[in-house]
Amino acid sequence: MKEHLCRKLFFFFLCFLLAEIVCHAQPPEEKGKAFRPDDLVELVKLDSALKLDIRYATSNNFMHRPMYTHAWAFLQRDAAEALERVSHKLHKQGYGLLIFDGYRPWSITKSFWDNTPPEKHSFLADPRKGSIHNRGCAVDLSLYDLKTGKEISMPSPYDDFTRKAYSAYKGGTASQRHMRDLLRLAMESEGYAVIKSEWWHFDYKDWKKYRVSDVPFERIQR
């Protein structure tokens, strides 16, 4: 009986300790830097031709559950205006931008990390450092056909945790690789850079000028 009570008390203590850790989890502290103030812009209000497919507001994502309370997408104003210029360039070629994600609160990044097997962590941002998504300067996106509204086929789906997602992957069809590279060239022309492991993820050149943030969508001025 005494042993059972001790186990029970230990279990409650462990739960309390874990709850305290989660409760006090905070974004990384960045000292000695001068950051620009956040100026997050809702993308569709800047460019109504942008099409949203915010997977993290649904169960259609690698976490298999909604992570966002709203299907909204934000970026810092300079990054958003650069994306608008990319959109206009691609329209001339018959394509629009399909947005999967933009600014991401730090607590969501931490949840991704904590609930993903360690062997897949290479595809995620380490919350101890923060993500460029947390700074409002990273965007996940693809292309859609302006005439049909259909998503363009790429070498892998969005959030694919395999080598097919790599920006230099040689597989897939010639058409898929061409469209992936077309998106990359258009984004690079306005100061964005693709990351090695995700063809859909682009970082804006001035991301270091913004702080890692954990402001929820509801508190952003829309």
pLDDT at 81 over 60: yes
| Pairwise CA distance, residues 196 & 81, whole Å | 24
pLDDT of residue 1: 53
pLDDT of residue 11: 39
**Can you list the domains of the chain with their CATH numbers?**
39-219 (3.30.1380.10)
pTM comes to 0.86
pLDDT of residue 14: 39
The contacts of residue 23 (CB under 8 Å, 6+ apart) are none
What are the φ and ψ backbone dihedral angles of 96, each rounded to 5 degrees?
Answer: -120, 170
| Pairwise CA distance, residues 117 & 153, whole Å | 28
Sheet of strand 51-52, all strands in order from the earlier edge strand to the far edge: 51-52, 95-101, 138-145, 198-204, 192-195
pLDDT of residue 122: 85
pLDDT of residue 3: 55
Instruction: Compute the half-sphere exposure of residue 50: CA atoms within 13 Å on the CB side of its CA.
Output: 26
pLDDT of residue 200: 98
pLDDT of residue 10: 42
Alpha helices in 24-131 (DSSP H): 43-46, 77-91, 106-114
